[in-house]
Amino acid sequence: MRPVFPGSEWRGAPAGPSGRPRLYLTFDDGPIPEETPWVLEQLAAYQAQATFFCVGDNLVRHPEIARAALAAGHRLGNHTQHHRSAWATARPAYLAGVAECQQQLAPLLAADALRHGACLPPLFRPPYGRLTWPVLRELRPHYRVVMWSLLTRDYDPDLAPARALRLALQATRPGDIVVLHDSRKASRSLRYLLPRLLAYYSELGYEFAAL
């Protein structure tokens, strides 16, 4: 898919300024009270930074959780207002959903920029990783469009959490953008995977960075 969507980001820098290898943990579909605060606790235990691609509907319901993620040094990105697929949604409606989600994010990001003195380019990830070339062409001048290099499949009820972990450990390389989900659907695997990934790669000397 990478050649089809030029200009999208699939991997990050393999190492940080310290020379330590890096992973980029990303969480899709939140924020929700059942999962996101727990994720923040796990990340804090390892001084790990991450990126949360937020659904606008959830931002409307739980802005305080998004503010907590920003206060902890994490980044927020746009995952559309209603989590619709670009393959099944008319382009004007899809782009309107992106814009609506960004409207929810804007005051949160502005307040965070005031605290830290930095205004970073907005991030966008398409739900299901589905894009069309016309949609990408519209978004690319305004957003960093972020895909991934490692999908944990924590949302898959047919994939046992222990197997999902084994597959992730076999495939992960420095610089990978890793997808997890702070959603109720992914809860069983997320709560198995995340603490083990953090512990394993911390022991190997990795750092966890936000995009």
CA dist., res. 100 & res. 81, Å (int): 6
User: Which is catalytic among the residues 62, 74, 83, 181?
Assistant: 181
Residue 74 is a catalytic residue: no
Tell me the one-letter amino acid at 181.
H
Question: Please, what is the Cα angle at 61 between 132 and 154, to 5 degrees?
Answer: 55
**Any idea how long the chain is?**
211
CA of 93: how far to CAs of 78, 82, 196, in Å? 15, 11, 39
Longest Cα–Cα distance of the chain, Å, equals 47
Q: With residue 150 as reference, give the H or E element that holds it.
A: strand 150-151
Q: Could you confirm whether 57 is annotated as catalytic?
A: no
Question: Are 148 and 178 contacting, i.e. CB atoms less than 8 angstroms apart?
Answer: yes
Handedness of CA 113, 116, 122, 127 (dihedral sign): negative
Of the candidates 175, 169, 122, 170, the residue with the CA atom closest to the CA atom of residue 148:
175
Residue type, 143: Y
Q: Give the list of residues 6+ apart from residue 159 with CB closer than 8 angstroms, or none.
A: 153, 189
- Choosing from 28, 29, 154, 176, the catalytic residue is 28
Catalytic site positions = 28, 181
